[in-house]
Structures are given as structure tokens and as C-alpha cells.
Amino acid sequence: MCPIIHAMSLKYRNVLFANVDVDDSPELAEMRNIKALPTFQMFKKAQMVTLLSRLKRAICCCRSGFEDEKVFELCGADPEKLEGKIRELM
């Protein structure tokens, strides 16, 4: 899946793709209720933010326990379904 996700990140420049190793971040996996791999979770915000502010916000939110509302989750490696949902949410 990594090459497919990389290609999507190049194609959809206004979408932030983040890869989390659940072995290195078990707390985050538990907080996001990850039960199967791969799991893709999508979130949508109305305002534009910079990459630095996204990183700061992610760190702050993880520490505070605040969770954004998930708009879609896909468990499994179905790149066509994933890309279709990305296009739908844009």
C-alpha cells in the first residue's frame, strides 16, 4: 500500500497523508480505536492550515485527548475505494 498512498499524496496535494506505526504509537492506535491494519481514517476541516500548525495541533490534540470527528474509515487495502472517498470529500 505504501507506493499507492505515496502516489495519492502526490496527486492530492491539498490532502494531508500521515502514516502511523502502531507498534511505535500504541496509545494513538488505542485512542483512534485501530483494530485492523491497514486502517485509513479521514477527517475534514473547513479551514486551511499550514503543515506546521497541523503538526502542532496533532501533538496538542493527542496530549489533551481531543478527537476530531471522523468522517470515514476504511479497514483493508482497497485503493480504489480509498481514492473514491478522497475525491468525494474534496
In the chain, the domains with their CATH numbers are 2-89 (3.40.30.10)
3-state secondary structure of 1: coil
Specify burial of residue 9 (Cβ count, 10 A radius: 0-12, 13-18, 19+).
middle
pTM: 0.63
CA atoms within 13 A of residue 45's CA, in its CB half-sphere? 11
72: its cell numbers: 470515514
Residue 48 to residue 14: CA distance in whole angstroms: 9
pLDDT digits (tens, 9 = 90+) for 24-58: 988 888 888 888 899 888 877 644 444 555 555 55
